[in-house]
Every structure is written in C-alpha cells, then in structure tokens.
Structure 1
Amino acid sequence: MQILLVEDDRILCEFLEQLLRRDGHCVTISTTGFAGLEALRTGEFDLMILDRMLPELDGMRLLQQVRGEGFTLPILMLTALGTPADKVEGLDAGADDYLTKPFDAAELLARLRALARSRSGGYGVLVRCGDVALDAAARLLTGPVGGCEVSGREAALLAFLFRNAGQVLPRELLLDRVWGADSEVEEGNLNNYIFFARRRLLQVGSRVQIQTVRGLGYRVCEC
C-alpha cells in the first residue's frame, strides 16, 4: 500500500518507515500537519497514519480538514493521548482506528491490514495490469488460471510495476520505492525479486511480462 505517515517524532518516523517498508508498503513522511495535508492533496495514498500532537496544524484539525475535503482513505490515529475520551474524540472526528503509544509493531501491522480489508469489502488494495490483479493487502495475485500468495516485498514490487506499466523503471527507482532510499539492500536482491515476480506471473497463467531494458531497468507489458 501507499501509506502517508504524518508524525513529527523523527526517530519514530525512521522506525515506522523501516517497519512498513519491510512489510511491503511504500511510505511518504510528513512531519507537520500542513505538510501532511499538502502531501494528501497532491499524492495518491491508500491509507494514512496520523499523530495527534503535530506542529502548525494539530492532528485533530488535520483530520477534520481531510474529511471535510472529501478524502475517504482509512486513517489510523497513532498518539500518546489514550484516555477513553481521547479515543472517542478521535473516532468521532473521522478516524477509522485509534492506537496509543507505546504500541506493539505486530498489532499496528495487523490493524493496517484490517483497515485495508474493511474499506475494500474484505479485500485489500487491488491493482490490475492486463489479465492479472494484485490484492496488495491480502498479498494475493490472481490470473487466468488461478491465484497464488506473494510475500510483502513481492507485493510491493508488483504493485509499483503494475501501476507504472509500459514505463521503463530504473533499477535505482525500484530500490528506492520498494526498499527505501536509506536501505542498504544490494542490487542482487532486486534481481532475485524480479525472478520471483516473473515466476508468480507464470504460475497464474498471465501474459504480462517483466522485460529487462538493458542498461536502464525494467518495463511491464502484456504480450
């Protein structure tokens, strides 16, 4: 999923970015309320994680603004304010879920999966390309002859490739979007995951192919 994280604690941002990217998500970080609102207005996101105590524009006001402008993406409030009254206020303002700090990483990921499923009628974020469809949250790839489960990293790679079908995607861009700009992942890992992705497409009987563009990167096309 494409996740917008609005949080001003930079150490927590680094932790969450690594956690979410390891789980196969793409993450955009905003450290102020106004920056988060601008990112949402100009980008495309499947889900938002929102702190409540933010500089410039606090989380509650940002939440109300977002809902007032008609954005319907799921929003998880992640905050240190955890009294029952705080939770009620956040949920009534438009949050879909409310999790207090400190939190368990596994619980956070489970709540995100639940939000993706509930918003899409039991399925996750569906990305289509030719004769194949990827449910990124459920990690299910479906094609002409059936479906197969994929890992979180495979789902992130396939989702980015499918969303940019027909374009030549440089290796550096794929490493940045799937693993993160600060990741120490080696290019050999990308080669391995491209191999896995091609094998998955064959497994579901798809005509979609991931072509190698020598010296540049990869391109997805339907043959």
Structure 2
Amino acid sequence: MRLLLAEDERSLSRALRAILERSNYTVDTALDGDEAWQYLEYGSYDGIILDIMMPKLDGIAVLRRLRERGDLTPVLLLTAKAEVEDKVLGLDSGANDYLTKPFHAEELLARVRAMTREKAAQPDIRLGLGNLTLDCASFELSAEEGVCRLSNKEFQIMELLLRNRKRLLSAEHLMRQIWGYDSEADSNVVWVNISYLRRKLQRIGANVQIRAVRNAGYTLEVSE
C-alpha cells in the first residue's frame, strides 16, 4: 500500500517513514503542506497521514482541499494538540481519524491499518505495461517467462516508474522519494538497484526496459 506522510519535523518524519516501511508500506514524504498538496495533485495513495501544524499550508487546509475535489482517500491527522475542539475541527473537515503526539509506533500502525482496511479488502492492485505485471501486494514482478520477487527498494523504484510511465524520473527524485531527504546512502544506490531490476526484467522475459536518458533520468520503454 502507498501512503503519503506529511510531517514538517525531519527527525520524526524519518522515524515514522522507517516504521511504516518496515511494515511493507510504500511511503512518500512531504515536509510542508504545499509539498504535500503537490504530491496529492499528481499521485494516488491508499492513505494519507497529515500533521496539522505545518508551514506554508496546514494539515486542515490540505484536508479541506482534498475533500472539496471529491477525493475520499482516508486521512489520519497528527497533532500535538489534545483539545476536543481541534479533534472536532479535524473530523468535521473530513479526517477519518486523529492521533495526538506523542504516540507509540504500534498505535500508529493500528490506526493506519484501520483506516485502510476497506482498501486492503479489495482485490490485489496490479500495475502493468507491455507484458509486464507488478503485483503491489506480493512485490512480485511477472512476464512471459517467469516471476521474481523484488526487494523493498526495487519494488518502490518499479512502482514509481510504472505510475509515472510518461515522465522521466531523475536519480535525485528517486533518491529523495525512496531513501528520504536526509539519507546517508550514496546516490549510487539508485544505479545499483536499477541494474538489479534490469537483470530481473531480462530474466523473466519482459518486453519492457528501463531506459536512462543522460542528465535527465529514467523511464520505462516497451520494446517492439
């Protein structure tokens, strides 16, 4: 499942992302409300976690924009405020749930599971291109000659490429989205994981290739 996490405190954002990814969620992170809205304009998510007190655009404003355009993606609000009025405001604005800081990781995961339960009960989501299929529930990539299971990072790269098949995704974009803003990982990890994916695509007989455009990024291309 794909989540958007909007939290302006960098250390908390990193910690929450790590917790969610260990539970096999794919997570995009935003550090302010304006950035969160940009993700929501162009991306599709199974659940959204919004901190209320964010710069540029607060969580309630993001939530209201989302509901005004008819988007019913479940939303969990995070805040340091514990007053009843704030909870009522959030729920009246369209939030599905409300979690007050500080909280335990187990409670966050339980709230996320609860708000995405209906989505999880639906048939497995599969993304496809050419003869290639990515099963987002099992992390399996399949084509004419076989099936292979992807690592967490490989899966996130392939999912991003499939969901953005008409765009070039730069190494910097992949690094930021998958490893995070403050990751200490070397940027070469993107190239390494792309290399692993290319071998797996070849092994299963996919007619889809990962094409690199010099100084621009990566995209998927179907072979004739």
Tell me whether 1:222 sits opposite 2:210 in the alignment.
Answer: no
Contact 2:139 2:149 in 1 (8 A): yes
Between the aligned partners of 1:37 and 1:192, the Cα distance in structure 2 is 29
- Structure 1 residues 181 and 87 mapped into 2: Cα distance closer, same or farther (>3 Å)? closer
Kindly state the Cα deviation for residue 209 of structure 1 after the two structures are TM-superposed: 1.8
1:27 counterpart = 2:26: no
For 1:132, the equivalent position in structure 2 comes to 132
The answer for the alignment partner of 2:67 in structure 1 is: 67
SS at match of 2:122: coil
Structure 2 CA distance for partners of 1:57 and 1:166, relative to 1, 3 Å: closer
Q: 2-side partners of 1:204 and 1:105: how far apart?
A: 38
TM-score by length of 1: 0.68
Query: Which stretch of structure 1 is more off in the superposition, 164-173 or 154-163?
Result: 164-173
Q: Secondary structure at the match of 1:156?
A: helix
User: What RMSD, in angstroms, separates the aligned Cα atoms of the two structures?
Assistant: 4.1
- Aligned-partner Cα distance in 2 for 1:192–1:40: 26
Give the Cα–Cα distance (whole angstroms) in 2 for the partners of residues 117 and 140 of structure 1: 22
Segments of structure 1 that go 5 or more residues without pairing to the other structure are none
Per the alignment, residue 191 of structure 2 pairs with: 191
**Alpha-carbon separation, structure 1, partners of 2:135 and 2:96:** 21
Structure 2 stretches of 5 or more lacking a match? none
Contact kept, 8 Å, 1:77 with 1:97, in 2: the verdict is yes
CA contact (8 A) 1:123 1:137 kept: no
TM-score by length of 2: 0.68
Query: Judging changes above 3 Å, is the alpha-carbon distance between structure 1 residues 5 and 203 closer, same or farther for their aligned structure 2 residues?
Result: same
- Measured after TM superposition, the shift of residue 185 of structure 1 is 1.6
Aligned in 2, Cα 1:111/1:145: closer, same or farther, shift over 3 Å?
Answer: farther
Q: State the identity as a percent.
A: 37
Aligned AA (1:129): L
Asked if 1:165 corresponds to 2:158, the answer is no
Residue of structure 1 in register with 2:180 after alignment:
180
- State whether residues 7 and 30 of structure 2, in contact with CA within 8 Å, keep that contact through their aligned partners in structure 1: no
Deviates more, 1:191-200 or 1:52-61: 52-61
- By how many angstroms is 1:70 displaced? 0.8
- Length, aligned pairs only: 220
The alpha-carbon deviation at position 17 of structure 1 amounts to 4.9
Q: Which amino acid aligns with 1:157?
A: I
